[in-house]
Amino acid sequence: MNIKPLIQNISNFLFDRLVQLIGIVLTFLSIFILLALFTYSAEDPNFVFSNNNEINNIFGFLYNLVYYFWNSFFGHFLPQFILATC
């Protein structure tokens, strides 16, 4: 029995499933962000400075949490990193 082709086939299979899983996760993440953007409200409280208003966004507190960390990375750290590497 030749084991090398078997290992190669298993490796290819696992790699293909990993690529499909990443694609599914990115698809659901894109749908999450799209729905959250459609239901965005300027009156929603911020994650850091909450003024005890009701959250109007479809995903509620989860969206505020994700938005805070997303904005912190892409709004603050990424531009500084790009400028520091130039």
Question: For the chain, which residues make up each domain, given as ranges?
Answer: 3-85
Per-residue pLDDT at 25: 96
User: Tens of pLDDT along 30-42?
Assistant: 888 788 777 776 6
Query: pTM for the complete prediction?
Result: 0.61
Question: How does pLDDT run across 13-33, given as a tens digit for each residue?
Answer: 999 999 999 999 999 988 887
Rounded mean pLDDT, 45-56: 68
- Contacts with 45 (C-beta within 8 Å, 6 or more apart), sequence order: 51, 52, 53, 55, 64
Taken as a whole, the chain contains a residue count of: 86
C-alpha angle 19-20-25 in degrees, rounded to nearest 5: 100
Q: Residue 24 corresponds to which amino acid? A: I
State the pLDDT at residue 56. 72
